[in-house]
Structure 1
Amino acid sequence: MKAVIAGGTGFIGRALVRSLTGDGHAVVVLTRTPAGKRPAPGVTYAPFDGATGEGWLRHLDGAAVLVNLVGENIASGYWTAARKARLRQSRLDAGAAVMDALRRAADPPRVLIQGSATGFYGDRSEVPVDETAPAGAGFLAALARDWEASTAGAEALGLRRAVARTAVVLGAGGGALPRMLAPYRFFLGGPLGPGTQYFPWIHLADEVAAIRLLMEHPQASGPFNLAAPGALTQDGLAQALGRALGRPAALRAPAFLLRLALGEMAQELFLNGVRAVPAKLARLGFVFRFPDIGAALADILGAGERSHG
């Protein structure tokens, strides 16, 4: 199988590329800096301007699947108006590039995997939310909704399109977890805000396995919640992080201080919550390797220790 991946140099994308090439599949990674990438077995790097199919269109010929994970990191900077505009535009431009390439390809793939996030649902309190729920309110909900819509036209072209509404991905060597663990290492860890808000998460290994299921299963279409079934509040998360590091988890970060420091970003990223349920993955028979946060953290922290040993 040949896969073309936009966003293949990110945290999730790199793990997906490793999984595919490890199984002998050919992967074309779209990147703005192909000349600076070191050659890797089974991987071809193609130029990507983030807005059109120029430079990589030919790589779609004969490909089985196109994966679009492109979008600037929502947590990498304070949410100014300009920053929010860039977050949105990076996703819309990538969607436009995907559609431009698909319309012009001589032999396009028949499957498109479109990235999204559980932020689509907004703040949902403790109510379990499956894929039938509508988009919520707020910046992240609108961002995810528009990200998904950017490639909706692929279905009219005859492609099977699956949308990966991804929770916070936990894994070794990147992602959100290092920043989450940092306060605990200095005995400063604890819940964020009231602690009752739900925290959707997924182990990197399950994220990759779920994306591959969406790529390969002929009945996988529409939105899918890529979130572990082990429902977890911020209080539960704090206790799990503390246990994993052998540290206390008693220093709660008050909501007003988070808002003072981070503004709108604090509310949407840390104080809102959604109890995302992977209902459609379950119906396809997907089995999580790490449905429980304790086992997930033990595996991730053990992998980090092994990589430094």
Structure 2
Amino acid sequence: MQRVIITGGTGFIGAPLARQLAAKYEVVVLSRNPAAAGSLGNGVQVVAWDGRTAQGWGHLASGAFAIINLAGENLSAGRWTAARKAAIVNSRQQAAQAVLEAISQAEVKPAVLVQSSAVGYYGPRGDEKINENEKPGSTFEATTCVAWEKATEAAEALGVRRVIIRTGVVIEKRGGALARMALPFQLFIGGPVGSGKQYFPWIHLADEINAIQFLLEDPQARGVFNLSAPNPVTMGEFATALGKALGRPAFMPVPGFALQLLFGEMAGILLNGQRVIPSRLQKQGFRFQYSTVDAALSAIYQT
């Protein structure tokens, strides 16, 4: 059975990804706290690592089919103080260094490296349709994504096929951004964030996981892929759809200045949207299970 190594494999995306891949692969999840990782199911092995080096796990890279690098501090876990910004950048750089260390030391190189990134790479772009060829923005999130992607670039020179996934806002009932966004609606005080006119690049968790596996297994897939649903909506449209799915009104907007007071610079994630199109993913032949926000939210709240 081929081996797949996942950094960040206990997180919102990584844990269900590990479980799905375990049906086909020997999955190794790297964790800085294996005791707290909990059970990820049969076929998933949790291995300790320090988040910075290949010590203790690097030997597993030799002969492995793939490494999926999802590791990094959560962007939305708190205000972007100078210390938080440093932790966000450093966690990504250090994880990348560990991955490159393991690959460079491997006698038999992994076939593929999937490198995580985000649609925040593009920065605020208004109504402009954004495909994978667009240049990066200049916000903190954008510059962080640029550095994140570049940090594993050297793997290509080592003969490893590299796939970069620029992910939108992943939605699922039990965690992530949607759980926080749904709470005001459940209290009958929900509505759009900011002007409501900014685009909201979303993707259902099932499509995120399926797309990662699809790109992992397609030997022709390399380079950048936008992982975002093919029908982006504005924040106002998303709020209306969320209210409909929950059987709640969507009439009470959250002013942009209030978010900025609460979250500072981090508020830009919600206030400055991107109209992201998954052009390369669709051309590669991937089919979305949930291509519209109504279908995605209906499925989420009926389960």
TM class by shorter chain equals: over 0.9
- Distance verdict in 2 for CA 1:54–1:203, change over 3 Å: same
Distance in 2 (alpha carbons) for counterparts of 1:213 and 1:92: 26
Q: Which residue of 1 aligns with 2:198?
A: 197
Q: How far 1:176 sits from its partner (Å)? A: 1.2
Distance in 2 (alpha carbons) for counterparts of 1:50 and 1:261: 30
Q: Which residue of 2 aligns with 1:284?
A: 284
Q: How far 1:35 sits from its partner (Å)? A: 4.3
Distance in 2 (alpha carbons) for counterparts of 1:53 and 1:46: 11
Q: Which residue of 2 aligns with 1:60?
A: 61
Distance in 2 (alpha carbons) for counterparts of 1:286 and 1:189: 34
Task: Letter of the 1:72 partner, please give it.
Answer: E
Provide, for residues 146-184 of structure 1, a one-character-per-residue CA deviation record: whole Å limited to 9, x for no partner: 110110010010100000000000113211111010000
Secondary structure, in 3 states, of the residue corresponding to 2:95?
Answer: helix
Name structure 1 gaps, 5 residues minimum.
304-309
Secondary structure, in 3 states, of the residue corresponding to 1:11?
Answer: coil
Secondary structure, in 3 states, of the residue corresponding to 1:29?
Answer: strand
Task: Letter of the 2:30 partner, please give it.
Answer: L
Q: Which residue of 2 aligns with 1:257?
A: 258
Q: Which residue of 1 aligns with 2:296?
A: 296
Cα contact 2:63–2:106 (8 A) shared by 1? no
Distance in 2 (alpha carbons) for counterparts of 1:194 and 1:172: 25
Q: Which residue of 1 aligns with 2:219?
A: 218
Distance in 1 (alpha carbons) for counterparts of 2:146 and 2:104: 22
TM-score with structure 1 setting the length: 0.95
Q: How far 1:265 sits from its partner (Å)? A: 1.0
Indicate the percent of aligned positions where both proteins have the same amino acid.
48
Could you list the runs of 4 or more consecutive aligned residues of structure 1 that deviate by over 6 angstroms after TM superposition?
A: none
Provide, for residues 258-303 of structure 1, a one-character-per-residue CA deviation record: whole Å limited to 9, x for no partner: 212221111x211101011000001111110000111111111222
Q: Which residue of 2 aligns with 1:307?
A: none
Is residue 34 from structure 1 mapped to residue 34 from structure 2 by the alignment? Answer: yes
Q: How far 1:18 sits from its partner (Å)? A: 1.3
Secondary structure, in 3 states, of the residue corresponding to 2:13?
Answer: helix
TM-score with structure 2 setting the length: 0.97
Distance in 2 (alpha carbons) for counterparts of 1:159 and 1:25: 19
Q: Which residue of 2 aligns with 1:176?
A: 177
Q: How far 1:24 sits from its partner (Å)? A: 3.0
